[in-house]
Amino acid sequence: MTVNVNVPEEQLQESDCEPVQQSNGTQVVSEDETTTTTSSDNHNNGKTPKDDATNKEIVEKSPTASGDKSSIDQELIVIQENLYPIKILVPGMEPFEVQVSPQELVQELHQLLKDREGTCHRTCFKLQFNGNTMDNFCELKNIEGMKEGSEVRLVDEMYSVREARLHVRHVRDLLHSLDNVDAHHGSDCSSLCYVNLVTDNDISTDGNLSNNTAAPTVSINNNSSNKQQTDNSGRTSPESPTPAATDNNDNKKTTEHKRRRRAGDQQATNENIVDCTPPDYIMPGAKDRIVTPIHPTSSELMRMDSCIKVVCMSQWNPPPGGRLLHGDLIYLCVVTNEQKRYHITCNPRGFYVNQTDMDTFNPKQVPGAQPFHSLIDLLNHLSPSFKRNFAILNRKRFNRHPFERIATPFQVNCWTAPETPHEVDHVRAEDTFSSRLIVEEHLPGQNTRDWNEEISGTRELPRTTLPERLIRERAMFKVHSDFVAAATRGAVLCVDGNVMAINPGDAKNMRMYIWNNIFFSLGFDVRDHYKDYGGHHAAFYAPSADLNGVKAYGALDIEGLNVLGTAVVDYKGYRVTAQTIIPGILEREQEQSVVYGSIDFGKTIRTTDEFLKLLSKTTKPMHIIPHSIKDAKSESISLQSSIECKGIHGNDKRHYILDLQKSFPPDVNFLPPPEEDVVTSSSSSEVSKFGEKTAPEIVESEEDKERKKKFSRWQPMLAPECIQMGFPRKHRHRLLTHRPELVEAFVEHAYHVFVCHCTTKIVSYRNTEKQQQQQIGSSESGDPPTTTEEEKMKSASESSALVARWQEDAVRSAAKLVGSYRDDEFDIRFNPDIFSPGLNFDQSDEQVEQERRMICDLARFLINNQIPTFIKDCLDHVSAPLDGAALTKALHDKGIGMRYLGKVIPLMKESRPLQHVYKIGILEILLRSAKHVMRPYMQHLDQMSVAHGTSHFFNCLLGTLSTPVPSRPDDQLISKKKKKLRGKNRSAPSSSNNNASGNVTTQATAASANNGGAIGTNGQVATSPQLPWYRFTPEMLWEKITIEAKEYYDFVIEDCSGIDDVVEKYGLQKISFLRRICQVMGVQIQTRDYAFDSKNKAVFVEEDIIRLFPIVKHAPPRASDAAQFFSSAQTKVQQGAIREAFELFSESLNLYTNVYGAVHVEISSCYRQLARLHYMMSEHSEAISSQLKAVILTERCLGVDNSSTICDLMNLALYCFASQKISASLKLLYRARYLILLAHGSDHPEIALVDSNIGLVLHGVQEYDLSLKFLDEALKINEKYHGENSHKAALSHHLLARAHSCKGEFRMALTHEKETFKLYKTLYGEKHDKTKESAECLRHLTEQAVTLQRTMNEIYKNGSTVSFPPLQV
């Protein structure tokens, strides 16, 4: 039957606004305040997204002189480019036109042709204009005669060996362009994207709603659905026969929805019926959490035949010397779908079939065979099946969104992947077993890339004007992304043992590597450098802290000051630091290289004027106090940074700084108590409880000894609030520093106090002066004396001087109050070395205590301000994390380190609205504790046991089986008789424990003993053989996790001896635990539905572990101008200036695309904001277009199940519903609900929002029974997390009343609507519009109920058949 979606207006407004407000956290402006603008999307003529985003020329003007802080620093005039068409002439094709810009490079025109459907198979060609070859790096405007209508001819070029191999690789990429094999394997920067697959391409490729197509028919399978057919007036009509009525299956009912066109009132229906029945696994109350739907599959792609069976390099390669003189470059072997085998020769002119077979080499051309310049053209000629299937594949490839085809700048890995058949891929095989295993791809003129020169050279590019900055930042980002890819690959090779160490004679944990001009080191304390700071724990933490310093100093972008290219890679339990190599550092000792800082913790300190001058520019933005420290010779050395920061003058005459792990203030909340340090300082031979030894004594004066002893004692002066929470706590290392976000928040808070104090002080001075003047005036009698002009001017001058003196006094007083570094202005700084032991500061005792007090105030600020602010944000639902990753980001944004998790989470235990955050926090504590246990466990696994050991660890962690018995790789070497005997022994419960303690093979014991380079759970190198991995039991694992949670997070896990106890006590999900442990440890598992509650069989087997992938941290460069535009646009949105905000977001998008390319997470943020503004201006089609791009980019850059992806899916569903795309809206909401269930479960406030929207859409298509299920669930969750008297609960009651009234259940409808009226009256008062609307709805429902009851009574009384009155809602 055909139904018209007729949703009440107040429901649509309430439901539509909620997701936007929550996801963006800003106020929605009413329609009256909005102004219409044009869309920024200009995709046409097959141009790439990068070309589309750069469709405007930006001319920089001088900085504005206005003092408006919200305005941008530079005035930009946007000039529309004069796009013009040119004609492309391609051999064998009809000429076609493309739109080009005068600023485009010829190389971009090359890329456009490679991305075009008809020319995508061409790689070796040149472009000619007027008979002259066009330079690839020349702009079109610089080509003489180039104008509108010009003809550019594509001319095939001669192949070389390099070009031939690139062409074959390109053919391989085309043939695999529709599958996700590379994305699942995490190669070639491929990543997953499912939004168009989920919606069955119901949203067109450009995201716009086509005016000449109708919405698809919505089909809902529901046995108990009670649907009523309505016309446009809202009255019911007799139910007409439906197509489902003629089928044998009476349970299936079909509804057709008419969508009103935006251009007119014409209506149409789609012939295709789309099933939008909710899957059982997302229904409210469903308990099973399955994994398989995370990777939806396309039936069309599964049914599509392959184009060709085999395309590989021939065994006759390379060509012999004689054939090289005939032009033979490479030989290929091809097997078509017709089971025909061809041997193909590539020469400079193209490809042809030769007479070679598997046994005989005959490179001559087959008689009658013609050569083709493209391998695709040759295969089309040889195989009709290939020609047909490749045309289908190519058409489907170009129907995909362009953002789905472009590589991401950084590799994104998914924690689960489906099992795919391993097929022949000659390119993959060649990449694996070639010289690339040790050496990166050869570039012209050099063997490997000089990463340090590239990174430093791009930083030195000019940056005066905006175009120069764009070119500079684009080059910096490209080099950085290439470096991260190379560093990641090198780190994996080093851990796997495929790179020769530069010190192969040392233990494995002490080895260092150089590969592809990148230096790699493992996270162990190799030379006891950190023995006084926590040993291996400090060495493991130092790379992460150093990376934070690299980010901070790199963001300052001080000219002449260079930081190293750095990436931190976690893989197989190891932490690998990858750094660029400073020129000349390998040619001399470290003592000779370092010219600034100290390498022995203050005994010897060096400095130079050049470094002091450069680092002095960083002290204010880094909030660092310049300080002086006396070395062992009692010489005072000035420093502009932490003493750990080392400056090196490279052979390239550049200044480099490294070892920036102590760039931020130390966290005194985790420093040892004072009494422990007193023991340390009393005797040089004693060891503190923290495990540190005192520094050896050096020759110095008695005065210096006394001062050093005094200053080395810990006097943190912690606030009572910190002491009440159990601080200071001893930690495993002393390198803990505060996050930069906390420092910025503290400075902002101090500035607010500073301004308020100044204002109060000046007002106080003015009031005092006024009172004194009044007293003087009252004491004098008679008329006031006359004053001359000179006296007036003198009085005004004195008054001005008095005000200036007040201001100066107020500033000095406020500066002293907030602890400013300077007493005449606001300048908050910290001394990062002030709590370092063994340093002799050349300053007064009062200054030392003042600097220590500032750091203690920072620690108190975290406890008193940041943690309560975070909890308040969670209570107000400003922050609603969906999983542990989102919780981590929310805490980091407040400057709260994850080591505070054990102190923050218990504060939420008794608060009902915070139960979802409490559960996520508990899961994160357990997860991180398990991660600390799993790291050394993984380090002890040999290459043959990785899959077996990982699956066994997961069984112990998440399985219900009490004694899981793992399969071991050496089982294959045992005879069948012994294996059968072992199976009998394992089947007996009593004997299994005996085997666990006694039967250890000599090989396994030797392997465990020899692998002593790994670290145990305490971070120290194992000195005794660790228990073999197959002896691990669930009891042992959970005991370690419990101890780790107590020691690291100060969180006690009571009465939990296994995962089942944790699930029962805290209500956690095993699948959520599995998802997070795979994400943080880099484990990819097979996509299948795991039976976690099985007590007879292990949950995981070795085949479930597909691969291990690296977790990479790096410091990407930022697009500064684009970020400035984005920030200004957000300010405009908050001010309600929608038009200005839209223009600023559009410019930010263009600048981001210029720097990052088409695919980047920052670009997704721009599209998200543009979509929101389009929606606010009722431009729903444009909102869908922008939001679709945001979803695609978020999926590809962050992951298909990331929390940001879920929010974007919900917003896209909202915009689709507003445009009457009912089918797409439902599927997107189903997808979002499934991902939330997978990440957290059904007990989350976001589930209420999703369920409300699902219920609203189902109500619109008259699926009232299904709608009621979701709305009931939404009401329960809203009442739990928002309160029974909240406006969320009132809205849920209102939606339930609507749904019940449509079913004729007026008693339930009246009950819910009365509750709605009661809540609105309490919240807003009787005169509010919502209260009046609820009262009107209540009156209308009462009338309908009375009419229905009167009709029922007449039926019962007279016994006659009376027609029911139409239900009006």
Q: Check whether 157 has a pLDDT greater than 80.
A: yes
Tokens (6 digits) for 969: 């790789």
Q: Check whether 1142 has a pLDDT greater than 50.
A: yes
Comparing 654 with 261, the larger pLDDT belongs to: 654
The pLDDT of residue 781 is 53
CA distance 525 to 1268: 61
Q: Check whether 9 has a pLDDT greater than 50.
A: no
Across 19-33, 573-587, 1254-1268, least confident range: 19-33
Q: Quick check: 1190 and 1157 in contact, CB under 8 A?
A: no
Residue-wise pLDDT tens digits, 1179-1221: 999 999 999 999 999 999 999 999 999 999 999 999 999 998 9
CA distance 217 to 1223: 8
Q: Residues for the chain: how many in total?
A: 1369
Q: Quick check: 569 and 578 in contact, CB under 8 A?
A: yes
CA distance 924 to 918: 10
pLDDT-based confidence at residue 268 (cuts at 50, 70, 90): very low
Across 724-741, average pLDDT: 90
How big is the CA angle at 734 (ends 728 and 735), to the nearest 5 degrees? 120
Q: Quick check: 47 and 1103 in contact, CB under 8 A?
A: no
pLDDT-based confidence at residue 786 (cuts at 50, 70, 90): low
pLDDT-based confidence at residue 988 (cuts at 50, 70, 90): very low
What is the DSSP pairing of strand 310-313 with strand 840-841? unpaired
CA distance 168 to 124: 11
The pLDDT of residue 258 is 35
CA distance 581 to 1035: 46
Q: Check whether 860 has a pLDDT greater than 90.
A: yes
**Contacting residues for 302 by C-beta, under 8 A, at least 6 apart:** none
pLDDT-based confidence at residue 1116 (cuts at 50, 70, 90): very high
Q: Check whether 368 has a pLDDT greater than 70.
A: yes
Across 433-442, 793-802, 949-958, least confident range: 433-442
Q: Check whether 1025 has a pLDDT greater than 70.
A: no
Residue-wise pLDDT tens digits, 1283-1314: 999 999 999 999 999 999 988 888 899 999 99
pLDDT-based confidence at residue 800 (cuts at 50, 70, 90): confident
The pLDDT of residue 449 is 87
Q: Check whether 188 has a pLDDT greater than 90.
A: no
Average pLDDT, the chain: 80
Q: Which helix (H) or strand (E) holds 1108?
A: strand 1105-1108
> What are the backbone angles phi and psi of residue 1181, rounded to the nearest 5°?
-65, -45
Axis-axis angle for helices 884-893, 915-939 (nearest 10) = 100
Residue carrying the six token digits 């002799």: 840
Q: Check whether 375 has a pLDDT greater than 60.
A: yes
CA distance 677 to 714: 6
**CA-based radius of gyration for the chain:** 36
The pLDDT of residue 438 is 43
Greatest pairwise CA separation for the chain in angstroms: 130
Comparing 940 with 29, the larger pLDDT belongs to: 940
Report the share of the chain in percent with pLDDT over 70: 77
The pLDDT of residue 1072 is 95
Q: Check whether 885 has a pLDDT greater than 90.
A: yes
Residue-wise pLDDT tens digits, 487-543: 999 999 999 998 999 988 888 888 999 999 999 999 998 878 888 888 899 999 999
CA distance 1234 to 1228: 10
The pLDDT of residue 1303 is 87
